[in-house]
Amino acid sequence: MNTPAISNIIKGAAFLCYRSHNAINVAAASIFRRSIHTTKPANDLMEFFDTKKNWSETNIRVGRSWKMDELRLKSNSDLHKLWYVLLKERNMLYTMEHECNDKMRLFPNAERIDKVRESMDNIETVIRERNVAYYKLETGETGERPTEDVVSHIGLPEKYERKEHYIPRFMNTRWVSPYLENGYISSYAVRRFLRLYNEKQRNETRKAKNRNFNHVQQLLKRFPDMDMEKLKEEYPDVDIEKAKISKKSRGHYVPKY
């Protein structure tokens, strides 16, 4: 028998089995590999704190918030990852703010929280736009929760989002009694509140109109040659002709109008 040939055949078969076993392990690892990593493998409580080099800083250089035009260019997977990055940043900032308040120290760059919150709101807006576009394409509807105009407990109009309830409206005596039988919305207290509220709104509107009128008079007094068309566009609720003939708009010169 040719012993070297048989040994070479056995070695080749063992080598092929070893390579096929490694290929299977690599394929399995690629299948069960995570596609999203939000934190480091070694998680500890220091993830909730800023880097130590920023603890003694009074001014930390940071960037601006994410704009919606930039977020619209990203895929849903990238927005998902960015959301968790901002969520970690927001938790860290809240922790640092609480720690600074506890130690009676100034929290540096408090506007960072506002920038992170604005970025997260923009992400939600972009995701909602995509959901509305998808539902309109598939079903012809927006997919949003339907809303209706209702009157609140104090008689003011508001938007009400419809939702499911455990008890139907006609069986809910706790709801039917005050709203249908006693008429809380049309009660004396609600009518008195609405009268005072409308009076306050009218006073604020009148005061704002008077402020604009006085401001226009001072502008005409200081700048008699200004563009009247531009002034009318800037203050549409002001009577420009009336402001021209008023005494407060006259300066130490002969008026041209």
Tell me the pLDDT of the chain (257 aa) as tens digits: 445 555 555 555 555 555 555 555 544 454 445 555 555 566 677 777 777 777 777 778 888 899 999 999 999 999 999 999 999 999 988 988 888 888 888 888 888 899 999 999 999 999 999 999 999 998 988 888 888 888 777 788 888 888 888 888 778 777 666 555 555 566 788 888 889 999 999 999 999 999 999 999 999 888 888 888 999 999 999 998 888 888 888 876 666 65
Which long-range contacts (C-beta less than 8 Å, at least 24 apart) are formed by 36-41?
36/77, 36/80, 36/81, 36/84, 38/81, 38/84, 38/85, 38/88, 39/88
Name 147's bridge partners. Answer: 161
d(CA 204, CA 202): 5
Both tokens of residue 246?
């008023």
pTM: 0.54
Q: Phi/psi at 141 (nearest 5 deg)?
A: -120, 165
Check: CB of residue 184 under 8 Å from CB of residue 190: yes
Q: Which residues contact 109 (CB under 8 A, 6 or more apart)?
A: 59, 60, 62
Q: Phi/psi at 183 (nearest 5 deg)?
A: 65, 60
